[in-house]
Amino acid sequence: MPAVQETVAQVKKIDVDQYKYGFETDIEMVKAPKGLNEDIVRFISEKKAEPAWMLEWRLDAYRRWRAMTEPTWAKISYPKIDFEDLYYYAAPKNSEGPKSLADVDPELLKMYERLGVPLQEQEILAGVKSDKPRVAVDAVFDSVSVVTTFKDELAKAGVIFCSISEALREHGDLVRKYLGSVVPQSDNYYAALNSAVFSDGSFVYVPEGVRCPMELSTYFRINERETGQFERTLIIAEKGSYVSYLEGCTAPMRDENQLHAAVVELIALDDAEIKYSTVQNWYPGDKNGKGGIYNFVTKRGDCRGRNSKISWTQVETGSAITWKYPSCILRGDNSRGEFYSIAVSNGYQQVDSGTKMIHLGKNTSSRIISKGIAAGYSQNTYRGLVSAHRKATGARNFTACDSLLIGDKCGAHTVPYIEAKNSSAHFEHEATTSKISDDMLFYCQQRGLSEEEAVALVVNGFVRDVLQQLPMEFLAETQKLIGISLEGSVG
């Protein structure tokens, strides 16, 4: 069977209305009382057995958050979120401190198996040959990390990969040194909220000169009703180190909207490189726009050292609302930031996403490739900032953001801000918006492809530049995801 037909046939097996990951897991949970106040913040901190400074840090964030108002500048509309009507902490009852996979609730393991997340590391550890790629996984279920695999093997290389709660207990000094140094507590409304109530997330520390021996991955799952998920990820790459990190997300299908407000901080020191890839597939709501995740995320990387590099790759197909701008602060001389994005919206999804490249050091460079695909009744906005500070001599940027519209009920928007504050900055920006041309479709159909196959072929070609940046582990899934997200959008 030709490759394209195979892809389409694969996609057809899954009905567009049947969000593949929409099941619920029945598991006994411990929850904090509804609403948010200082007591809830204390409750979360106590549950995590955190040091006193962390509680103070959270309370400070909470007080700042109280004084802030929700941002309204994005091109998204949604009913006002009642922050008092949410649970801010939910954890599987027996989850506190599993020592190994054997301690984890079998229901949870079953769930991750259904999601296709490889938590079983035994066969590889036992020396059984496997052609599957080896990926260390931190699985986060509602508010807590349930298990982190391959920890021992990573520890041999000196890499710390654990949940942030564990890092606070075991590596408190490291966390204290870097937490909030890229995204401060008062950075924005949702970052402040996250700083106050984040319950878990991943922590990665790669020591000087170490190339992390395997891909690291976190899998986020929202399960409980009326629960917000607030995770915090902190990745530190010491001098000359390299790490590639993957992130995936899913949630059950529900009529209600659920809130997800995460913060990710990356720090790359001299000559270090961090590659951060995301496949975001939160539940997008049904075909009438009911339900779905509100995804308000602050992701920022700090190229703090000379010659450092941070690369963001994202595939955004899920969520009712996406509000997300993975950014790079290019502070170190000769540092480099990259942003590759595919944002696919269908149904009534609203995406307002993009990046910020802030050039501060000398001879810094950045590259932005963004591909937006809007179908159905969705709205898809690219919003980006490229700025060169007065002292950032020799700053270079290239930006290409292209949008594809499928159907006449959707919208695709481009809002770039380009600020060159010195003459040696060299900025280029280009953007196009078009529909799939009838000529292209005709050409494909004339050669025997069906209309849907032709659309899949053209769309895959459209996003190829970004797909090439994805780690192999994500590539196949992403191609399938794009197919699913667009099914039913032809005509």
Token output for 233: 């990820």
In the bound state with another protein, the residue whose beta carbon lies nearer, of 268 and 436, is 436
Token output for 295: 């995804």
In angstroms, the CA 69 to CA 189 distance is 7
In the list 417, 451, 461, 464, the residue contacting another protein (rule: CB under 8 A) is 417
User: What's the DSSP call for residue 19?
Assistant: -
In angstroms, the CA 13 to CA 428 distance is 43
Beta strand residue intervals within 142-272, DSSP E: 144-148, 160-163, 202-206, 215-221, 232-237, 242-250, 257-260, 263-268
Distances in Å between the Cα of 257 and the Cα atoms of 20, 282, 290 are 18, 11, 8
In the list 410, 441, 457, 481, the residue contacting another protein (rule: CB under 8 A) is 410
Query: How much of the chain is in helix, strand and coil states, percent to nearest 5?
Result: 25, 35, 40
In the list 416, 471, 475, 480, the residue contacting another protein (rule: CB under 8 A) is 416
Span interacting with another protein, options 24-32, 137-145, 176-184, 420-428, rule CB under 8 A: 420-428
Residue list 373-402, contact with another protein (CB under 8 A): 390, 393
Span interacting with another protein, options 62-70, 118-126, 417-425, 451-459, rule CB under 8 A: 417-425
Task: List beta partners, residue 276.
Answer: 245, 312
In the list 104, 406, 463, 466, the residue contacting another protein (rule: CB under 8 A) is 406
In the list 18, 37, 122, 424, the residue contacting another protein (rule: CB under 8 A) is 424
Contact call for residue 407 and another protein (CB under 8 A): yes
In the list 55, 59, 418, 458, the residue contacting another protein (rule: CB under 8 A) is 418
In angstroms, the CA 298 to CA 236 distance is 17
Contact call for residue 458 and another protein (CB under 8 A): no
What distance separates the 2 farthest-apart alpha carbons in the chain? Answer: 69
Distances in Å between the Cα of 350 and the Cα atoms of 50, 122, 332, 378 are 37, 41, 35, 6
Count of residues that bind another protein according to CB under 8 A: 35
Contact call for residue 39 and another protein (CB under 8 A): no
Span interacting with another protein, options 26-34, 79-87, 291-299, 408-416, rule CB under 8 A: 408-416
Span interacting with another protein, options 46-54, 208-216, 284-292, 403-411, rule CB under 8 A: 403-411
Reference 147, options 168, 165, 126; nearest CA is: 165
Contact call for residue 411 and another protein (CB under 8 A): yes
In the bound state with another protein, the residue whose beta carbon lies nearer, of 74 and 234, is 74
Contact call for residue 403 and another protein (CB under 8 A): yes
Span interacting with another protein, options 101-109, 297-305, 428-436, 454-462, rule CB under 8 A: 428-436
Residue list 47-86, contact with another protein (CB under 8 A): 73
Contact call for residue 451 and another protein (CB under 8 A): no
In angstroms, the CA 168 to CA 227 distance is 23
In the list 36, 162, 216, 405, the residue contacting another protein (rule: CB under 8 A) is 405
In the bound state with another protein, the residue whose beta carbon lies nearer, of 103 and 419, is 419
Residue with tokens 């399960």: 223
In the bound state with another protein, the residue whose beta carbon lies nearer, of 84 and 439, is 439
Reference 75, options 397, 462, 367, 352; nearest CA is: 352
**Contacts to another protein by CB under 8 A:** 73, 390, 393, 403, 405-435
